[in-house]
Structure 1
Amino acid sequence: MKLDTTSLKLFVRVAETGTITAAAEAEYIATSAVSKRLSELEAYFGTPLLRRNNRGVELTPAGNALLNLSRGVLHNLEDLDLQMQEYTSGARGNIRVYANMSAITQYLPGETQHFFAKYPDIGVHLEEKVSPVITREVMGNGADIGICAKLPHGYELAEFPYHTDDLVLVTPLDHPLADRESIAFRESLDHAYVGLHTSSAINLELLKAASLANRPLKLRIQVTSYDALCMMVQAGLGIGVVPRGAIRQYVGGLRVKVLTIRDAWARRKLCIYVKDVERLSMAARLFVDHLVQSAADQESIPLQRPA
């Protein structure tokens, strides 16, 4: 005999009802089948579990021990089943998310906080990556969800609209361009730039725009964060391009000027990428749905929920 939950359930039922007949009736099973299960249990453990008398049955010391243990095991199995159902429904789970610096600094903190308020038992493992790495990792199953700038990436990924990034030019207050309110990008190319790291989507966009203008991009120094870029600009090392929303937390304490870039590419799209919507865990699908809804509410984007 192999120990199984059915036998344990029947044993607990017999102990609770006090008779094999009552247990059989409660479980809609033949009395002989219950008796057989009990005999198999006693043979399995090698000790009597029940004493039969005119009133029914009473537990032996071994039977009392098994009753307590069986109740714990059955309770844990029920809890296991409930928790696994929660994973299926999305109430529990862990999600791997790769996002670019722009999404992390501007949008994800507040939106993830609201998501946790609704689903406190779902964990989100968030890492910052540059856009080309994000789409590659989503395609290779390194991440469940990727959030980055909409760029040609060459992979067959499901795409959902997220927020719009308004890129702006920041200059020192005493810079020749500081008296301007807006500027065409090509007009800024006479000046030295503070850039972001080489593979960042913004850096690639600036190099592309400079190439289309048949002008070099004069990168004096490159950094890995928006706050570092703004501090370098304030120190007079050059001018730089960052998302408008990302510098709000820095500009209040920094002496820099913010100029609108008039070029169309300065209004770039952020997108949410997944490899296969149908193969996402329910928790991941709920997170994507939440982010898409949040962006649609804020920016009047036509809503596209995961299928």
Structure 2
Amino acid sequence: MHDLDLTSLRLFVAVCETRNIARAAEQHHIVASAISKRIAQLESTLGNVLVERNRRGVAITGAGEILLEHARGMLAGADRVARDMAAFGKGIKGQVRVLATVSSIAEYLPDDIASFLQVPEHREIRIDIEEALSRDVVSGLREGLAPLAVCWDAADLEGLQTRPYRNDHLSIIASPSHPIARKKRCAFEETLDYDHVGLPASTAVHTMLARAAAIIGKPISYRAVVSTFDASLRCVRANLGIAVVPREVAEPMASIYGLKVLPLTDTWAQRSFAICFYDEKRLSPAARALAVHLQSLAAARVDPPLSRR
């Protein structure tokens, strides 16, 4: 098999996204026949039909769907190479890409990276952060998409080296008028009699809560499912239900929204995050310096105690 050429893959992706060869040609300022020729060459190289033409445009075949997934990854990698080399040409002496979970980005990571970059010898280092779910963070690290990752330490980290990062504490966020708001803290079981505002099923928080509810033997009643912590707080403010949100995310916003924050007393509600990489010896000097900096901040931090009833 001949090497796949990136230009052909880029045009193939455009055809798949527009479902129309003519529209893809307009986007890339070439004639439709040139795209048809490129796709025919791909089909010949791969030995499979990738798209089928019809009256409305094109339909992607099963083989085309497989290629589309890989093509997007290959093009994203090529774009990262171009950005990294452009940054190097501008005088940046080091570059580190970090994959991180939503919680770590919402809580500590941006400020910790900012403090790293304020150190004089780090000012010519560029740090790029990419947000993803815990499972995608780990798989991305294993696939070589980034040298460093920050995620929940309960994720599947087998085969990776880890260092401790920061902790957070899941809490119940409630409107002051909600019955549970009379408490100062509560157990998760006490919340299952009320409607919840939840995060998508693919998130670590949702998985953790589903497991806890199953052990208790009571279902969680979700009245709303949203994609961000901020959206959760807005739904709580509108009295659509209560939400489980890290205390570290909720407390700065609770006073603005007029909400109550009740730490959960369950042991699993105290979460730990980890800095992950394949092999510390293989990290670039910039990536190693960042990992050491993040670990030192975690070691120096003292979590505030839970409120007492």
Query: TM-score, normalised on structure 2?
Result: 0.66
Deviations, residues 144-190 of structure 1 (Å, cap 9, x unaligned): 11111111415311011111111110111111111111111111111
Q: 2:194: which partner in 1?
A: 191
Corresponding residue to 1:272 among 258, 268, 275: 275
Which residue in 2 is equivalent to 1:105? 106
Gaps in structure 2 of 5+ consecutive residues: 1-87, 304-309
**Aligned partners of 1:139 and 1:155 also within 8 Å:** no
Aligned to 2:216: 213
Aligned partners of 1:107 and 1:197: how far apart in 2? Answer: 22
Task: Give 5+ residue unaligned stretches, structure 1.
Answer: 1-86, 301-307
Give the counterpart of 2:161 among 158, 162, 166. 158
Match for residue 232 of structure 1 among 214, 218, 235:
235
Instruction: Decide whether aligned partners of structure 1 residues 154 and 282 sit closer, same or farther in structure 2, where only a CA change above 3 A counts.
Output: closer
Show CA shifts across 1:231-283 (max 9, x none): 11110111111111111331121021111211000101111111221211111
Equivalent position amino acid for 1:100 in 2: T
Name the SS for the 2:179 alignment partner: coil
Q: CA deviation at 1:285?
A: 0.6
Letter paired with 2:94 = G
Provide closer, same or farther for how the CA distance between residues 152 and 245 of structure 1 changes in structure 2, counting only shifts above 3 A. closer
Inter-partner Cα distance in structure 1 for 2:299 and 2:176: 36
Q: CA deviation at 1:197?
A: 2.1
Within 1, Cα distance between the matches of 2:124 and 2:191? 49
Cα distance in 1 for residues equivalent to 2:273 and 2:294: 12
Distance (Å, rounded) in 1 between the aligned partners of 2:111 and 2:296: 13
For residue 75 of structure 1, what is the aligned residue in structure 2? none
Q: How many residues align?
A: 211
Structural mapping, 1:1-307, within 5 Å: 92-118=93-119, 119-153=122-156, 155-299=158-302
RMSD: 1.6
2:99·2:148 contact (CA, 8 Å) conserved in 1? yes
Equivalent AA in structure 1 for residue 217 of structure 2 = N
Larger Rg: 1
- Asked whether the equivalents of residues 165 and 243 of structure 1 are also in contact (C-alpha less than 8 Å), the reply is yes
Deviations 1:78-119 (A, max 9, x none): xxxxxxxxx9xxx92111101112211221222111111120
2-side partners of 1:143 and 1:299: how far apart? 29
Normalised TM-score (structure 1): 0.66
| Alignment-mate amino acid for residue 232 of structure 1 | C
Counterpart Cα distance in 2 of 1:144 and 1:247: 30
Mapped contact 1:163–1:299 kept (Cα < 8 A): no
**Contact preservation (8 Å) 1:135, 1:155:** no
Question: How far, CA to CA, are the matches of 2:270 and 2:145 in structure 1?
Answer: 29
The residue aligned with 2:54 is none
The farther-off stretch of 232-241 and 248-257 is 248-257
Specify the SS of the correspondent of 1:262.
coil
**CA–CA separation in structure 2 for the residues paired with 1:105 and 1:204:** 19
Q: Structure 1 CA distance, aligned partners of 2:180 and 2:151?
A: 30
Deviations 1:121-156 (A, max 9, x none): 111110111111111111111121111111141531
Partner SS, residue 215 of structure 1: coil
Per-residue deviation at 1:291? Answer: 0.1
Counterpart position of 1:21: none
* SS of aligned partner of 1:170: strand
Deviation above 2 Å: which 4+ runs of structure 1? none
